[in-house]
Structure 1
Amino acid sequence: MDKTTMKLRGVNLGSWLVLEKWMVPSLFEGLQATDETTWCAEMGPRAAERLRAHWNSFITREDFRWIAGHGLNAVRIPVGHWIFGPDYPYHPKYGDNRHPFVTGGIEVLDRAMDWAQEFDLRVVLDLHAAPGCQNGFDNGGIKDVCEWHTKAEYREHSLAVLERLAERYRDHPALHAIEVLNEPRWDVPTDYIKAYYLDAYERIRRHCPPERVAVVFHDGFRSFREFLGFMQPPHYQNVIFDIHRYQCFERCDIDADIHAHLRKSAGDWKDEADAIITELGLPTICGEWSLGLDLKVVSLWAEGPFNHALENMDQFQQNVASRGYADAQLLTFEKYQGWFFWSYRTETTPAWSLRSSVERDWLPSSFA
């Protein structure tokens, strides 16, 4: 199959190589930490043993087997800028430890790549947490800090990590794409993001030809129309545009009933998909989506009220609503080049766990 036109149906392996507190609260119990940076800084010498145990247990070879066995063909693997070890710029959140992050993640990623190859899964490697943090979210590595775009050394280290990933896995059969930065925040200047994306493309292309590996960039929470004419062929080849779509973070969505969520999924988002496909000139994926409608379980520190569409339903109604919401989203996202559910596993809520959602019959038992 032509790798540049392959339909991707996949799942994110979130909170594995980049911790998110709401997904794995057991790791954060008794700590003040809110993200991987402050977790490592607070844990200190205890961090290595605890985190390596998490790496070895949270996602295993059997999970790759399960993913492939249910007809999915791809995984998106978030990584932090510290994946190669202590060559990253200092940030004050590190405290007295110049290099707080646990080493050994790259060997876990090596293993994951080989498991993906074994089970014929394609891998999108995603720079999820950049130095200085690109979005101020816990998933960016440092909650409430968004300084990635303020220092040249942060930008350069991000590019260097992308190039090292490209060089390391250039010949690996499982590598499908490299995503150059996850969710840069809406107030990071568009021109700065675009210039970074262009440089990232060139750095990756030093090692990975377009017929083998795609380069993915995220919309940065802004209209796709801000990227019209951007990274077009013939100079730029095998470039993929990434959008993330959720309905639990904005008050208008939180206050909506299930029928409004279905209309947005099958109506508004379908219209958006048609517009992107018609106007943008780049293949597009929905790199993150979920069945989550309850903000409280996602952001353990968010301010309420925590109302949501399913709260007054009995179990039967919740199951019907969840299946309907899943199907409405899938029908829309199938219009794109592909999609990746967030995420494969959580400790907290089944609506954010593909495996739990399949086991509860909210999602199909086979995606083939």
Structure 2
Amino acid sequence: MPGEHRDLVARDGTNLFNRNVSVVDGSGVKRWLPGVSKIRGVNLGSLFIIEPWMSNTIWNNMGCGNSASEFDCVKLLGQDKANAAWAQHWDSFITQDDIKRMTSYGLNTIRVPVGYWMREDIVDRSTEYFPEGGLAYLERLCGWASDAGLFIIIDLHGAPGAQQLNAFTGQVPAQVGFYNSNNYERALKFLEWMANMTHTNNKFRNVGMLEVVNEPSNSPDNGESVRSNYYPQAFTRIRAVEKQLGLDQSHYLHIQMMDQRWGSGDPNQYLTDKYFAAYDSHTYLKFSNTPVDQNTYITTSCNDDRSGSSPTIVGEFSMAVPDAEDWTPQWNPTLSSNKEFYQRWFAALITEYEKEVGWIFWTWKNDLGDLRWEYDAAVQAGIIPKDLQSIYNKHVCG
């Protein structure tokens, strides 16, 4: 378990996260990431891509008003004013104290959603509007997390042209625009740049995984395009950077794709080399057709088999329920009568997810006032235990 520094071994026998990697900057400094038995982590949602639905107070204070996305707010404010507003947000939203609190809760991993505009030279400033200056704050964050011994996943959450019509991409265009050669090329340039940085900048020394795109479209044509075109190129381009740096294969980054359950098809279909491939599985009962009943939710979670392609991490989940039930007496998480249910449900969720590589909760903090979406608040409310191993004492799933 966390703190014991045992190697994490995938089903195929490969060692996942125990890495002793040279930083190729001429210093000869070695970096080492302690092995962990299971991934236990949180997403840093709304840090580098603000999602108005869960950060509305922040959004309004920045002057974004009814803007649908970062793109729209930057266009509204103008570049200079937007840069200042975002710099203030990046500087204060996640602090070093947050990182310390994560480790005190027994967490060992962070997933950092970012947009392609983090690499500023691939943004078309004549038609695209995004904040500038985020890289310095990403570097600072990764330095803090590396110093704290956290494993880091960098997730391309916002792809060029938008992979979904959703503000989590940083923009909400009239139609998705990611699925063409021009935007694939820009995303691939982002991945090359990020791969190079993780191997040459000591602040990024605990970044061990790049997720090449979050939640791509599951339409047949777009899914086929991602599988046959984008995924193979992502592997080729990232590995080319690592070969150019002269790295041994055992020091390569893990390359993560959405698993087949996401609905974009089998991510392995067109891959000729799956070395250090990894898979991301997202599960929210809130958006499923599961009957809204406490016993059913626990039973469903206890039987939520996420096996398949290995290694699989459940990269997003929460304890949210359908909107119509959110604050009813049966589901209100602030009522003492529901505390035991939410404790048991969380235990059921992660018991199942730890049958695979582990899990990453969505998200660390927000301003919804709803602990079902906020790991820090759920711990403080006594819903999630600080001693994560104690969930096995509940024997929720038998």
Same-fold status (TM-score > 0.5): yes
Give the aligned partner of residue 386 of structure 2: 365
Structure 1 residue 193 corresponds to structure 2 residue 226: yes
- Structure 1 distance, partners of 2:76, 2:259, is 33
Residue 260 of structure 1 and its aligned partner are, at CA, apart by 1.5
Cα 1:329–1:146, aligned 2, differ >3 Å: closer, same or farther? farther
State the alpha-carbon separation in 2 of the partners of residues 174 and 141 from structure 1: 26
Change (3 A) 1:132 1:65: same
CA distance in 2, matches of 1:83, 1:327: 36
Q: What are the within-5 Å matches in structure 2 for residues 164-313 of structure 1?
A: 164-171=193-200, 172-187=204-219, 189-194=222-227, 195-208=229-242, 210-212=249-251, 213-219=253-259, 222=262, 226-227=266-267, 231=271, 235-250=273-288, 252-253=289-290, 256-267=292-303, 269=304, 272-274=305-307, 276=308, 280=309, 282-295=310-323, 306-308=324-326, 311-312=329-330
Does the aligned pair in 2 maintain the 1:186–1:220 contact within 8 Å? no
Could you tell me whether the CA contact under 8 Å between 1:185 and 1:220 is conserved in 2? no
Choose 13-22 or 141-150, whichever is displaced more: 141-150
Return closer, same or farther for 1:35/1:224 CA change in 2, 3 Å cut-off.
Answer: closer
Name the SS of the counterpart of 2:156 in structure 1: strand
Match of 1:83 among 118, 133, 153: 118
Q: Percent identity?
A: 25
Is the CA contact 1:131–1:154 (under 8 Å) kept in the aligned structure 2? Answer: yes
Deviation at 1:307, TM superposition (A): 3.0
Deviations 1:96-136 (A, max 9, x none): x6452121101111111111111001110000001111011
Q: Does structure 1 conserve the Cα–Cα contact (< 8 Å) formed by 2:55 and 2:367?
A: yes
Deviation readout 1:25-68 (Å, 9 max, x if unpaired):
01332612121111211222421221111101110111111111
Contact 2:281 2:306 in 1 (8 A): no
Q: TM-score, normalised by structure 2?
A: 0.79
- Quick one: which amino acid aligns to residue 288 of structure 1? E
Cross-structure match for 1:18: 49
Match of 2:29 in 1: none
Give the counterpart letter for 2:224 in structure 1: D
Please name the residue that 1:321 is paired with.
341
1:40 equivalent in structure 2: 74
Out of 145, 169, 187, the position equivalent to 1:116 is: 145
* Mapped contact 1:258–1:310 kept (Cα < 8 A): no
Indicate the SS of the match to 1:362. coil
Give the SS at the match of 2:320: coil
Cα drift, residue 211 of structure 1: 2.1
Aligned-residue CA RMSD (Å): 2.3
Aligned-residue offset at 1:323: 1.2
Paired residue type of 2:357: Q
Residue 366 of structure 1, CA deviation: 2.8
| Contact preservation (8 Å) 1:148, 1:155 | no
Aligned positions, number: 340
In 1, Cα distance between the equivalents of 2:264 and 2:157? 20
Where 1:127 maps in the other structure, the secondary structure is: strand
Structure 2, unpaired ranges of 5+:
1-6, 9-14, 18-35, 390-398
- The aligned amino acid for 2:321 is L
**AA in 2 matched with 1:216:** Q
**What is the deviation of 1:155?**
1.1
Distance in 2 separating the partners of 1:100 and 1:288 = 27
Give the TM-score normalised by structure 1: 0.85
- CA–CA distance in structure 2, aligned partners of residues 83 and 145 of structure 1: 23
2:99 corresponds to: 64
Q: Which has the higher contact order (CA 8 A, sep 6+)?
A: 1
* Residue in structure 2 matched with residue 302 of structure 1 by the alignment: none
